[in-house]
């Protein structure tokens, strides 16, 4: 039986580390404390949407954020009553109505979305809460940063809508001192200043995701959206003691001894150098082990960075290891879809012994049980 193990103490530690960094922020003019939004998209970054959301709430994260209507509704049906921000702007009236009826804070990022929200507001007896999304160069959701006239006109049209926040999203905050990230930030600040000149004062503004929160403390503003940093698996330098969350737990199903020069696994990529005791476990790449996310990179500098990362990853994969009885053992042969082999030569390991594998929870099959320990 396989399960994804989530160490509650380690997860609680990561949340505290991030909260401690946020406490360094100066309170605003209204004495409002810094806000952290817990992003729980992607099945709670693999930790289980409902379980992870409730854990964040129990540990002082009072606002959650999702990427789809389905995620938002699942959380409401699970009994969660805290604020939930829908990060995806939509002009689909049916979706907007569903979100509003379930007390979800919507995102408005276009003229079409503005008009759709205005139409819904006339037909529904609920206060609509919203954040405005600004596209500062990501090219996805949001009003274009330099179309101030449209932004101002749209917000003023929404006079009966509670505009509680305004935000943007970085595309390259994984690297420190990046000129493009600085440019995006400056564009966002210019939008905020332009709104103030037009007598529009929105109280909450945020642009930092997890990498930016760690790499650019000067850009924290008064709110940040934290996802991967809580898992200790953020694409940024981790020098603040974040712990990696997520281990696959399974059992050894078979043990055999094979002679020297014996093939292990697909493609004949591994042959034993001596008589070898082999353990078989029912975990493979379909379970999320040894999986990396493909990236499309176009800039030459990013290709170089990607190449460096790939070389490091290759070296790591060349000596994949698992943990059995508190000791590391090598994975041998190519990892299969649902199985792999482990060299346990010289050990007294037996069938049914527990095996732990380091995995990114985001890649772990959603059908595998999540176990908080």
Q: Which of 91, 89, 99, 86 has its CA nearest to residue 118?
A: 91
- 246, 364 Cβ separation under 8 angstroms: yes
- 75, 52 Cβ separation under 8 angstroms: no
Q: Is 266 a catalytic residue?
A: yes
- 331, 322 Cβ separation under 8 angstroms: yes
What pTM value is reported for the model? 0.89
Q: From the candidates 33, 176, 256, 266, which is the catalytic residue? A: 266
Q: From the candidates 41, 271, 277, 334, which is the catalytic residue? A: 41
Residue labelled with tokens 């290709």? 303
Neighbouring CB atoms inside 10 A of 157's CB total 14
Cα gap 6→11, rounded to integer Å: 8
Query: 225-240, pLDDT tens digit by residue?
Result: 999 999 999 988 888 9
* pLDDT band at residue 291 under the 50/70/90 scheme: confident
Q: What angle do CA 26, 27, 33 make, to 5 degrees?
A: 120
Q: Is 141 a catalytic residue?
A: no
Cα gap 208→216, rounded to integer Å: 8
* pLDDT band at residue 297 under the 50/70/90 scheme: very low
- 223, 34 Cβ separation under 8 angstroms: yes
Q: 316 versus 167: which is more confidently predicted?
A: 167
329: phi then psi, degrees, rounded to nearest 5? -135, 150
Strands 369-372 and 354-358, how do they pair?
unpaired
Strands 223-226 and 321-324, how do they pair?
unpaired
Residue labelled with tokens 């959206």? 225
Cα gap 343→257, rounded to integer Å: 10
Domains, the chain, ordered by start: 7-231 (3.20.20.10), 247-372 (2.40.37.10)
Cross-strand partners of 5: 247, 371
95-122 average pLDDT score: 97
Helix (H) or strand (E) holding 143: strand 143-144
- 135, 142 Cβ separation under 8 angstroms: yes
* pLDDT band at residue 256 under the 50/70/90 scheme: very high
Q: Can you list the pairs that 321-327 forms with residues at least 24 positions away whose Cβ atoms lie under 8 Å?
A: 322/281, 322/355, 322/356, 322/357, 323/355, 323/356, 323/357, 324/252, 324/279, 324/349, 324/353, 324/354, 324/355, 324/356, 325/349, 325/353
Res 171 pLDDT > 60: yes
Q: Which of 172, 166, 151 has its CA nearest to residue 221?
A: 166
Q: Which of 28-32, 55-59, 131-135, 334-338 has the lowest mean pLDDT?
A: 28-32
Neighbouring CB atoms inside 10 A of 132's CB total 28
The token duo for 170 is 């970085």
Q: What radius of gyration, in Å, describes the C-alpha atoms of the chain? A: 24
Query: 49-103, pLDDT tens digit by residue?
Result: 999 999 999 999 999 999 999 999 999 999 999 999 999 999 999 999 999 999 9
Alpha helices in the chain (DSSP H): 8-22, 41-45, 49-58, 69-77, 93-101, 111-123, 148-157, 179-197, 210-215, 300-317
């Amino acid at each position: 039986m396989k399960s994804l193990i989530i160490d509650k103490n380690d997860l609680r530690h990561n949340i505290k580390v991030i909260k401690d960094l946020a406490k360094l922020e100066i309170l605003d003019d209204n004495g409002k404390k810094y806000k952290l939004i817990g992003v729980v998209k992607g099945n709670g970054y693999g930790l289980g949407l409902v379980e992870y959301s409730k854990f964040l709430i129990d540990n002082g994260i009072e606002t959650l954020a999702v990427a789809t209507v389905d995620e938002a509704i699942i959380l409401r049906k699970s009994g969660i009553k805290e604020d939930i921000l829908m990060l995806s702007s939509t002009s689909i009236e049916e979706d907007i109505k569903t979100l509003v009826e379930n007390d979800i804070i919507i995102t408005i990022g276009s003229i079409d979305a503005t008009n759709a929200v205005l139409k819904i507001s006339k037909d529904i007896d609920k206060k609509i809460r919203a954040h405005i999304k600004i596209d500062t160069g990501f090219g996805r959701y949001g009003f274009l940063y330099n179309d101030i006239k449209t932004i101002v006109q749209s917000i003023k049209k929404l006079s009966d809508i509670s505009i509680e926040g305004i935000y943007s999203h970085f595309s390259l905050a994984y690297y420190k001192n990046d000129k493009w990230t600085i440019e995006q930030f400056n564009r966002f600040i210019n939008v905020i200043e332009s709104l103030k000149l037009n007598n529009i004062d929105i109280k909450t503004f945020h642009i930092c995701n997890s990498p930016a929160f760690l790499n650019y403390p000067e850009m924290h503003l008064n709110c940040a959206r934290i996802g991967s940093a809580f898992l200790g698996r953020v694409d940024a330098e981790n020098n603040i003691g974040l712990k990696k969350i997520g281990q696959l737990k399974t059992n050894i199903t078979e043990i055999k001894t094979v002679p020297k020069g014996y093939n292990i696994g697909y493609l004949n990529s591994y042959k034993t150098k001596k008589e070898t005791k082999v353990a078989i476990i029912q975990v493979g790449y379909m379970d999320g082990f040894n999986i990396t996310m493909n990236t499309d990179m176009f800039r030459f500098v990013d290709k170089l960075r990607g190449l460096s990362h790939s070389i490091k990853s290759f070296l790591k994969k060349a000596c994949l290891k698992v943990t059995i009885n508190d000791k590391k053992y090598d994975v041998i042969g190519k990892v299969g879809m649902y199985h792999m082999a482990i060299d346990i030569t010289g050990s007294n390991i037996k069938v049914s012994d527990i095996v732990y594998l380091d995995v990114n929870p985001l890649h772990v099959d959603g059908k595998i049980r999540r176990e908080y320990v």
